[in-house]
């Protein structure tokens, strides 16, 4: 009887919670509210997609449609002439197109892979360890996010010139500054707060050292944030022209070559749109593959132990 009197309030409480949750779910499933949310999200999606849609449409516009007044958003007589002109311009360059593409691919892949390792390795002690100066280091990471590339361009050039990295054959003048970004470290620190400290403590009790705990315990649980940083870093480094640190034509990146082809005023506006469409294909593919993990990162970024 004593057990029955103890369990009865618990059962009533559970039923009350379930009833309240069911009522809450029913209130959120109203047709009008769902339609309203869908319309709002669809409107924002269309607004954000307009530049991409305009670039795709303009890449198929013939030259005379760029001079129409009033200007038209949609193309009237679609053509592939812009892509043909872009192909002819690329084939007539002194440096083959494959070389520009290889330079961009090399820089993007190497920088992204090394940066993922550095960002996660730096974020682990800043999030899960206690040491003197930890708060100051975290403040420096956040403060560094306020400096734009335009502010650091001159001192960065002076440092790279002093180290002999200007026009480096392995593009270290582009790779090294990209590795100093603190955005990935900041995001990773925030995400690691969602990993319970008990997991790390149990690994240490089993005899795992700091690096083994980082590699075998922390890293497998950081897949969402790793994919998020991968998207941001790859997109940022892929579009770098770096004409201020690379002067040899055979070492220039694909965006720099495309910029040279497209910078001819309104006469090559369509060619510029076609070049832009070609350049966004790799970042879009990377984002499409990684978007599921990105959503998981955003969902868990505020959870703490």
Q: At a CB cut-off of 8 Å and minimum separation 6, what does 213 contact?
A: 200, 203, 204
Token pair of 1, please? Answer: 């009887």
- Residue 10, pLDDT > 50, answer no
Q: What is the pLDDT of residue 77?
A: 84
Q: What is the pLDDT of residue 2?
A: 45
Q: At a CB cut-off of 8 Å and minimum separation 6, what does 83 contact?
A: 59, 274
CA angle 163/107/262 to nearest 5° reads: 105
Q: At a CB cut-off of 8 Å and minimum separation 6, what does 293 contact?
A: 223, 224, 226, 227, 228
Q: What is the mean pLDDT of residues 20-41?
A: 68
Q: What is the mean pLDDT of residues 151-172?
A: 89
Delimit the domains of the chain by residue range. Answer: 2-58, 85-300
Q: What is the pLDDT of residue 267?
A: 65
Q: How far apart are CA 125 and CA 119, in angstroms?
A: 11
Residue 185 half-sphere exposure toward CB, CA atoms < 13 A: 22
Residue 139 half-sphere exposure toward CB, CA atoms < 13 A: 4
- Specify whether the CB–CB gap between 175 and 111 falls below 8 A: yes
Q: How confident is the model at residue 18 (pLDDT cuts 50, 70, 90)?
A: low
- Specify whether the CB–CB gap between 286 and 231 falls below 8 A: yes
- Residue 29, pLDDT > 60, answer no
Q: How many other CB atoms are found less than 10 A from the CB of residue 17?
A: 10
- Residue 7, pLDDT > 50, answer no
Q: What is the pLDDT of residue 297?
A: 52
Q: How confident is the model at residue 205 (pLDDT cuts 50, 70, 90)?
A: confident
- pLDDT tens-digit map of 212-249: 999 988 888 888 888 888 988 998 899 888 778 888 88
Q: How far apart are CA 2 and CA 72, in angstroms?
A: 81
Which of 106-110, 265-269, 286-290 has the lowest average pLDDT?
265-269
Higher pLDDT, 177 or 34: 177
Q: CA–CA distance from 173 to each of 28, 159, 176, 241, 246 (Å)?
A: 53, 10, 6, 12, 8
- Residue 305, pLDDT > 60, answer no
Q: What is the mean pLDDT of residues 9-17?
A: 50
Q: CA–CA distance from 249 to each of 46, 74, 150, 194, 262 (Å)?
A: 39, 37, 24, 47, 17
Output the pTM of the full model. 0.76
Local structure of residue 74 (DSSP, 8 states)? S
Q: How confident is the model at residue 195 (pLDDT cuts 50, 70, 90)?
A: confident
- pLDDT tens-digit map of 256-279: 887 777 766 666 777 888 888 888
Which of 55-59, 70-74, 198-202, 246-250 has the lowest average pLDDT?
70-74
Ranges 3-7, 17-21, 30-34, 213-217, most confident: 213-217
Q: How far apart are CA 194 and CA 70, in angstroms?
A: 54
Q: What is the mean pLDDT of residues 289-303?
A: 59
Q: How confident is the model at residue 1 (pLDDT cuts 50, 70, 90)?
A: very low
Percent of the chain with pLDDT over 90: 17
Q: How confident is the model at residue 11 (pLDDT cuts 50, 70, 90)?
A: low
Is it true that domain 85-300 has CATH number 1.10.3720.10? Answer: yes
Higher pLDDT, 265 or 117: 117
Residue 6 half-sphere exposure toward CB, CA atoms < 13 A: 3
Q: What is the mean pLDDT of residues 88-105?
A: 83
């Amino acid at each position: 009887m004593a057990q029955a009197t103890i369990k009865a309030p618990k059962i009533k409480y559970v039923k009350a919670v379930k009833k309240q949750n069911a009522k809450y779910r029913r209130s959120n499933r109203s047709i009008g509210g769902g339609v309203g949310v869908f319309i709002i999200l669809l409107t924002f999606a269309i607004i954000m997609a307009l530049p991409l849609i305009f670039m795709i449409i303009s890449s198929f516009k013939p030259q005379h449609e760029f001079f129409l007044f009033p200007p038209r958003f949609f193309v009237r007589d679609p053509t592939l002439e812009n892509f043909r002109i872009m192909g002819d311009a690329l084939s007539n360059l002194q440096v083959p197109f494959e070389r520009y593409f290889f330079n961009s691919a090399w820089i993007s892949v190497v920088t992204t892979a090394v940066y993922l390792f550095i960002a996660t390795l730096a974020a682990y002690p800043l999030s899960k360890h206690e040491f003197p100066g930890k708060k100051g280091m975290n403040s420096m990471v956040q403060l560094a996010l306020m400096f734009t590339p335009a502010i650091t361009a001159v001192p960065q050039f002076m440092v790279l010139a002093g180290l002999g990295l200007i026009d480096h054959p392995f593009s270290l003048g582009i790779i090294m500054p990209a590795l100093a970004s603190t955005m990935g470290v900041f995001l990773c620190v925030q995400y690691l707060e969602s990993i319970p400290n008990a997991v790390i403590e149990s690994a240490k009790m089993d005899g795992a050292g700091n690096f083994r705990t980082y590699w075998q315990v922390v890293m497998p649980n950081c897949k969402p944030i790793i994919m998020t940083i991968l998207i941001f870093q790859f997109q940022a480094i892929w579009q770098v022209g770096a004409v201020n640190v690379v002067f040899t034509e055979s070492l220039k990146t694909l965006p720099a070559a495309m910029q040279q082809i497209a910078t001819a005023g309104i006469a090559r506006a369509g060619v510029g749109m076609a070049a832009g469409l070609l350049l966004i294909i790799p970042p879009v593919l990377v984002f499409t593959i990684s978007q599921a993990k990105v959503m998981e990162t955003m969902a868990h970024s505020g959870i703490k132990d």
